[in-house]
């Protein structure tokens, strides 16, 4: 991979983003914020504390991962599908000195950078409603970027393997929704049955949630090393699979 080729793809994405950043920012930040307010104040009126935290603090830190998911996997799926299947944008990009590996990497990095920014919005909203800021929260954009890269690559992988927009419903309903619900965002995974609790621990979104909570309320070096390793492994595997699948679509 060459830096110049990836920079060219990134610059193109930034220029295009300037034309639609308002709508993208609105959808990527408002929906997680609604989850925060609905669950934080809805369940918060019934449940005072969860896992030793005020419920608004528990949900406020957990919804960061939800914002990261929404702002990375969906652009990875839908935008990628449009660019390579309908607009044939990727065919034009590959006519330049850019290969599939550089194209996928640059796209994922750009989406991850946006996810790292959007993921902080629920945290800021939670602060407005009582979450105390802490120095560790400065690491949250990095955590969100790392998780966002993996989910962006996962989205690209799905886009490369689907034949129509309708097929995305299978992934959203059967994969993303269950992962979203058992990530420890709205309730601890220890509340799940034992087998489900064990399976939830392989959920990349769960590891993002835990890292954000520890950044806000105190790091746990041993556990956080495992959470970070899980996100890095997920990102590496998703990137490899995305590059391989997209190469088959565009080259083979």
DSSP notation for 95-111:
HSS--HHHHHHHHHHHH
Q: Is 127 exposed, middle or buried (0-12, 13-18, 19+ CB in 10 A)?
A: middle
Over its length of 252 residues, how does the chain's per-residue pLDDT go in tens digits?
676 777 778 788 888 877 777 877 787 777 777 877 777 667 666 677 777 888 888 888 888 888 899 889 999 999 889 888 888 888 888 887 888 898 999 999 999 999 999 888 888 888 887 788 889 899 999 999 999 999 999 999 999 998 888 889 999 999 998 888 888 888 888 877 877 787 788 899 999 999 999 999 998 999 999 999 999 999 999 999 999 999 988 886
Residue with tokens 């945290």: 123
Outline where the chain has alpha helix (H). Answer: 3-17, 21-42, 55-70, 73-74, 80-81, 89-95, 100-118, 121-128, 140-161, 168-171, 177-181, 194-200, 204-217, 221-250
Alpha-carbon span 215 to 218, nearest angstrom = 6
94 contact partners, CB below 8 Å, separation of at least 6: 100, 103, 250, 251
Residue 44 confidence (pLDDT): 62
Q: What is the pLDDT of residue 93?
A: 82
| Residue 102 burial by Cβ neighbours in a 10 Å radius (0-12, 13-18, 19+) | buried
**What single DSSP character describes residue 75?**
I
Total residue length of the chain: 252
Q: Quick one: pLDDT at residue 249?
A: 85
Q: How far is CA 245 from CA 45, 160, 162, 186, in A?
A: 47, 6, 11, 34
């Amino acid at each position: 991979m060459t830096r110049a080729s990836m920079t060219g793809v990134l610059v193109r994405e930034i220029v295009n983003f300037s034309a639609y950043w308002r709508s993208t920012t609105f959808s990527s930040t408002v929906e997680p914020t609604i989850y925060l307010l609905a669950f934080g104040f809805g369940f918060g009126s019934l449940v005072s504390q969860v896992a030793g935290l005020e419920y608004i603090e528990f949900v406020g830190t957990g919804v960061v991962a939800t914002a990261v998911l929404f702002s990375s996997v969906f652009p990875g799926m839908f935008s990628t599908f449009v660019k390579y299947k309908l607009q044939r944008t990727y065919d034009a990009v590959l006519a330049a000195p850019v290969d599939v590996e550089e194209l996928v990497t640059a796209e994922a990095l750009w989406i991850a950078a946006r996810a790292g920014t959007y993921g902080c919005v629920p945290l800021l909203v939670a602060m407005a409603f009582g979450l105390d800021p802490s120095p560790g929260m400065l690491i949250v954009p990095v955590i969100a970027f790392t998780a966002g890269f993996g989910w962006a690559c996962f989205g690209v992988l799905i886009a490369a393997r689907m034949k129509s927009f309708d097929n995305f419903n299978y992934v959203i309903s059967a994969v993303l929704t269950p992962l979203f619900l058992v990530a420890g965002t709205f309730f601890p995974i220890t509340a799940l049955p034992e087998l489900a609790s064990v399976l939830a621990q392989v959920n990349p979104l769960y590891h993002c949630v835990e890292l954000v909570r520890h950044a806000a309320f105190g790091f746990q070096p041993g556990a956080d090393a495992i959470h970070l390793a899980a996100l890095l492994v997920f990102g590496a595997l998703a990137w490899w699979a995305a590059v391989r699948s997209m190469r088959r679509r565009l080259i083979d």
